[in-house]
A and B are shown apart, each in its own frame.
Chain A
């Protein structure tokens, strides 16, 4: 059996790549996809802990994370469509309407 740390380090790498994507990219939809990537890295952590601790609870948490991700996808994409209607762009640099 593989050591737990293999899975945790893979998950850490995926999470860091997602973080870099959120910080570096300007397209709001790509940022959104990077957030999904980070959520999936956390899911991998939870499932591997669930396997190595012999408990089903971690997998139930993954269900709730998936639900939150689905709700986030629906609301986030609706926000992007509303923003695109106003500004003809989904570049995050253009999101400055609350600025004085």
Chain B
């Protein structure tokens, strides 16, 4: 049952991500990308990470994709007139397929090792996923968290300066 569900969701994710690459109209690509994000959120739920699924839908499918669709409509981009030459398509496809082959080959030879922690489904249900993440984020990862705020500040200032006509 679980594997059938996984197969369906994975097939939809792969198909919609292929549509992202092949669609001529950028709006269609953006909508297929939203579909991929929803499929990934579904997989996060099956991996016992419900809060990450919610964040995925809110941040990616909500904020970032709305921003991208907004820019596509603002710039009024026409459908791509000239396709890239067949050499470039062939080279790009070959590199991508080689990357896939390499990764799958390594995955087939590898095994999962390393220190395992104590988090499991029972603990996620008992303590709560948000509490677990919040505890890790504000104790072990406090410095990266603070640095992230500086990164966001720099991004805000940079976006305003780049998009403004005259400062």
| A-to-B contact residues, CB < 8 Å | 1-2, 4-10, 12-21, 23-27, 29-30, 32-34, 36-37, 40, 43-44, 47-48, 50-57, 59-60, 62-64, 66-75, 77-82, 84-85, 90-91
Contacts and interface: CB of A to CB of B under 8 A. Distances in A.
Interface of B: 2-3, 6, 10, 13-14, 17-18, 20-21, 26, 29-30, 33, 36-37, 40, 43-44, 47-49, 52, 55-56, 59-60, 63-64, 67-68, 71-72, 74-75, 77, 80, 82-84, 88-89, 91-93, 95-97, 99-100, 103-104, 107-108, 112, 114-120, 132-133, 136-137, 140-141, 144, 148, 151-152, 154-156, 158-160, 162-163, 165
**Secondary structure at chain A's binding surface: helix, strand, loop or mixed?**
helix
A21 B57 CA distance: 23
Output the residue of A12, A24, A78 with the most chain B CB within 10 A: A24
A19 to B, nearest CB: 5
Given A10-B14, A55-B117, A56-B132, A26 B99 contact: no
Given A33-B29, A66-B55, A47 B44 contact: yes
Given A13-B100, A24-B89, A27-B77, A7 B26 contact: no
A36 B85 CA distance: 25
